[in-house]
Amino acid sequence: MSLPGSTIAAPVTGSRPTSPRAHLFTAGTAEDYRRAVTQGIERVAARVTGVDRPGTGITPDELAPRVAGIDLDRPLGDTTAALDELHDVYLRDAVYFHHPRYLAHLNCPVVIPALLGEAVLSAVNSSLDTWDQSAGGTLIERRLVDWTAERIGFGPAAADGVFTSGGTQSNLQALLLAREEAYARIVGGGTDRPSRPEVLSRLRIITSTAGHFSVQKAAKLLGLGADAVLTVATDAGRRMRTDELAETLDRCRREGHTVMAVVATAGTTDFGTIDPLERIAEICTAVGVWLHVDAAYGCGLLVSPTRRHLLTGIERADSVTVDYHKSFFQPVSSSALIVRDRRVLRHATWHADYLNPARMAERRIPNQVDKSLQTTRRFDALKLWLTLRIMGADAVGALFDEVIDLAAAAWRLLADDPRFEVVTRSQLSTVVFRYLPPGVSRDVVDDANLYAREALAASGAALVAGTKVDGAHHLKLTLLNPETTLDDIAHVLDLIAEHAGWYARTRATAELSSPVG
Ligand SMILES: Cc1ncc(COP(=O)(O)O)c(C=O)c1O
């Protein structure tokens, strides 16, 4: 086979390529593309079939020398050899979210239609910034934004949005839009205009103590003061207290601060609880404050056949974060920011002569960069598109329902087990608990739970997360794999009790035998 513009033969897999051009994916190398990618897929499929633990418990100190020892200036020139090497530095010790005893963070196993999308989108490599780099990709993303807006309950004619890299970016963009709206309102058309720094120093954001830290990060990036984010307490169900929200709004008004946004969380990261959206929306409407709903986690309820009602009130938000890569079983990255009123997206617009001149917008050429914080941008929407076209929204929602049911069963299991104390029952799929044997000091309980988590991870038998509840160390299961069974969870709890119990007994013995005074 000869390559365009070259007389050099394309490489046969396994032999050293003779031309740099032979590595480009072009019409002439389609067969090499097919072979290389198939080899990679075979490796991953074999590894996923073979894993008997979610991780190997390898430490950075063990793995780092292997990665550091590779000479990046001496290519192997061969797909098979590179995949063998990759096995050593990555695939063998990777953390596998596919495994039923991966119970740690908000990572999901991914659906096959989305993986198909991933393969197509990276090979075609469309960039969704402008129509002239994407064509149909732009229209597909726009349809999915409209579809999501409709699921939220926004009027389709007015709503809009854009895909982003994740919940952090979606929240940042939402708060950027809210900041600019607040700024425009404050500065208005008056002649005695306060300076921009003065206005920014007066802006406040309110969220609950269980809100995601990306809100604080966004405030920092948006140039607000260090004290710009006010957190209000949660109730016994770990949901934002609306009486405190109202009081905080009132206090801000009295102190001359402008609340630029209230961020309600639909699916708190630790507790999987949903703030009272309807009541919060009423309060925000009454005082004319932007409501952002961070539904990064809870967005899966938009397609739940049985639990959509848990999001009632979301349709009254000004903006919503949805992370398809959390509860729609999509590969990272796949997220979107959806806004009720498309006009607010103008705050993310900048016209560049070389890319998206204003005349293009006048001619209604659909350039998504006009709404995005990014320029070059992946066609992540394709993954969701193929998911909806192959398996359908109800099937995605049914998978999410399964893990929510599992979390409820796990919560009951823990509530009935005297070895443990379990915290707030989740509306989604997390379970927060701790090992709590009687007669053990608070310090030992804290350390025993920390120890159990690390010992479990080191063995690779299971991965669970940790967090603090009211200052005390707890463990957390985030259930997003419908393949996980209650037996898996019971087994992991036994392992935790074994590790933590061993630690507590060893500490007690050491304290008894240590000299007093
Ligand atoms: C509620 C919530 N919002 C935002 C984020 C940030 O999302 P991402 O990790 O996709 O940036 C998370 C991540 O866990 C989250 O739980």
For residue range 163-214, what is the model confidence (pLDDT) as tens digits? 999 999 999 999 999 999 999 999 986 777 889 999 999 999 999 999 999 9
Quick one: pLDDT at residue 1?
A: 35
Largest CA distance in the chain: 85
Quick one: pLDDT at residue 515?
A: 64
Q: Which atom of ligand 1 is nearest to the CA of 268?
A: 1
Ligand 1 centroid to Cα of residue 214, in Å, is 7
- How far is 445 from 429, CA to CA, in rounded Å? 25
Contact 38, 8 (CB under 8 A): no
pTM (2 d.p.): 0.95
Residues 6+ apart with CB under 8 A from 508: 440, 444
Cα 142–chain centre separation? 21
Q: Which atom of ligand 1 is nearest to the CA of 323?
A: 10
- How far is 457 from 328, CA to CA, in rounded Å? 26
Segments in the chain below pLDDT 70: 1-17, 189, 515-517
170 lines ligand 1 (CB under 6 A): no
Q: Whose CA is nearest to atom 7 of ligand 1?
A: 167
- How far is 24 from 83, CA to CA, in rounded Å? 18
One DSSP character per residue, 398-417 reads: HHHHHHHHHHHHHHHHHHT-
Secondary structure class of 454 (helix, strand, coil) = helix
Ligand 1 centroid to Cα of residue 169, in Å, is 9
CB atoms within 10 A of CB 71: 6
Quick one: pLDDT at residue 509?
A: 85
Quick one: pLDDT at residue 516?
A: 53
Q: Which atom of ligand 1 is nearest to the CA of 211?
A: 1
199 lines ligand 1 (CB under 6 A): no
Ligand 1 centroid to Cα of residue 91, in Å, is 25
181 lines ligand 1 (CB under 6 A): no
Q: How far, CA to CA in Å, does 30 sit from each of 7, 15, 126, 458?
A: 17, 17, 18, 43
Q: How far, CA to CA in Å, does 39 sit from each of 14, 25, 80, 81, 97?
A: 11, 16, 8, 11, 22
Quick one: pLDDT at residue 213?
A: 98
Quick one: pLDDT at residue 3?
A: 37
Strands 319-323, 291-295: parallel, antiparallel or unpaired by DSSP?
Answer: parallel
Q: Whose CA is nearest to atom 16 of ligand 1?
A: 269
- Output DSSP code: residue 355: T
CB atoms within 10 A of CB 514: 7
